Amino acid sequence: MKRIYCDYAATTPVDKKVLAAMMPHFSEQFGNPSSIHEYGQEALQALDRARHAVADMLGCLSQEVLFTGSATEANNLALFGVARYLLEKKKKVHIITSAIEHESVTSPLAQLARDQNVSVTYVPVSHDGLIDVDAFASAITEDTALVSIMYANNEIGTIQPISEIAHIIRAYKKKTKQDYPLFHTDAAQAAYYVNTKVSDLDVDLMTLSGHKMYGPKGVGALYVKKGTPLVPLLFGSGQEYGKRSGTENIPGIVGLGEACEQIKENKEFVGKIKDLRDYFISQIFIKIPGASLNGAQEKRLPGNANILFKGIRAQDLIVMLDGEGVAVSAGSACQSKALAFSHVLSAIGLSEKDAQSSVRFSFGKTTTKKDIDYVVNVLVKVIKILHK
């Protein structure tokens, strides 16, 4: 049976060059980078090369890159790390985020909000999934210590105006002569496709994920601007400049570094993916009456197409497509086994019924036009069956 993968937003296959770079560090160059002998120094050199590769992609100092076990850990480190530091300095800590953040941001914020000295404001988004910039500006108070707005949404692919948000923050700090709020962005979904130069974006913290950019699972990174206060989550031997203890996952980190190197050559893939995505959407609208797009038409990731199929239960459609060899998902991969009402689709105004009739298709650099045609034809067939 033909198999077509259309779930690149959930995870990407490891690039062949990335895998080749990783392989020696599983068995041949297996040293602990904290060891002073030759084996350890080989591992340390590999760690440093990877750190420089990530820093080069971000346009930052290598010392500003911390490696973590995942984007989830990086988000937790950013949020808890800053908030806990400031709770020791300030009586009240106010945090601003958006209504469509990933669970690795909303869950830590819910934990922080249990402290009576912490408050969280969730800024609404438009029907297209774009943050209400005016509402954001109005939400900033003298207690606002941290802002966390994702670069691109994992469900509907909407790309947020990060530079504009940063400009508002910078203007507020200049006006009030304050050092806060700090600005964190979760760029896990965005990094492969958009500008991640931190000087252009003017962010203080940025989260990256290896397996969203053709690197391995189990590794992430957090950019922390020099001078940004951060209390560690993990305590031990003080690796990662004392901010993330634990022996470094050298194969994974090398893979993340190589994935960042490969991004330099991805322009041709990005354009191709966008064209295929647009072709897919146009074919869906032609061949499946009543189908509609969730999220912004233009300000969205090149490979993302979140489609509402009225009257069709998404879980049924996903199972039947899988039976035809087509892999897709409904909403966040982290919640794919649950039938919960997506908070993202709710935030853009969908009813529970329509949210549970929405399916995310996400394409990558190995997707072809022949794949798209196959998926469309299978969709037409399966939806006719489900309507019956």
pTM of the model: 0.95
Amino acid identity for residue 109 in this structure: L
Task: Report the C-alpha gap between 150 and 65 in whole angstroms.
Answer: 18
Task: Report the C-alpha gap between 304 and 280 in whole angstroms.
Answer: 10
**Do 242 and 119 fall within a single domain?**
yes
Q: What's residue 165's pLDDT?
A: 98
Q: What's residue 382's pLDDT?
A: 96
CB-CB contact of 382 with 317 (8 Å):
yes
- Final residue of a domain: which of 240, 263, 286? 263
Secondary element (H or E) of residue 173? helix 162-176
- Output the six-digit token pair for 248: 């470094």
Q: What's residue 184's pLDDT?
A: 98
Number of domains, the chain: 2
- Output the six-digit token pair for 108: 């830590």
**Do 227 and 341 fall within a single domain?**
no
**Do 118 and 223 fall within a single domain?**
yes
Task: Report the C-alpha gap between 285 and 304 in whole angstroms.
Answer: 16
Domain membership of residue 212 as a residue range:
16-263
Task: Report the C-alpha gap between 270 and 242 in whole angstroms.
Answer: 37
Long-range contacts from 337-342, C-beta under 8 angstroms, 24+ separation: 339/315, 342/155
**Do 234 and 333 fall within a single domain?**
no
- Output the six-digit token pair for 222: 């957090």
- Final residue of a domain: which of 238, 263, 288? 263
User: What pairing do the DSSP bridges indicate for beta strands 304-308 and 4-5?
Assistant: unpaired
Residue closest to 73 by CA, chosen among 258, 203, 233, 255: 233
CATH number at residue 289: 3.90.1150.10
Q: What's residue 387's pLDDT?
A: 87
Q: Which among 6, 60, 260, 334 is annotated as catalytic? A: 334
Residue closest to 359 by CA, chosen among 384, 326, 387, 385: 326
Q: What's residue 187's pLDDT?
A: 98
pLDDT (tens, 9 = 90+) of the chain, 388 residues, equals 789 999 999 999 999 999 999 999 999 999 999 999 999 999 999 999 999 999 999 999 999 999 999 999 999 999 999 999 999 887 799 999 999 999 999 999 999 999 999 999 999 999 999 999 999 999 999 999 999 999 999 999 999 999 999 999 999 999 999 999 999 999 999 999 999 999 999 999 999 999 999 999 999 999 999 999 999 999 999 999 999 999 999 999 999 999 999 998 777 889 999 999 999 999 999 999 999 999 999 999 999 999 999 999 999 999 999 999 999 998 655 544 555 789 999 999 999 999 999 999 999 999 999 999 999 999 999 999 998 8
- Final residue of a domain: which of 263, 286, 316? 263
Coil, strand or helix: which one is 248? Answer: coil
Q: What's residue 268's pLDDT?
A: 80
Task: Report the C-alpha gap between 126 and 321 in whole angstroms.
Answer: 31
Catalytic residue status for 60:
no
Task: Report the C-alpha gap between 320 and 339 in whole angstroms.
Answer: 17
CA distances from 39 to 25, 26, 28, 42, 247 (A): 11, 13, 9, 5, 14
**Do 44 and 183 fall within a single domain?**
yes
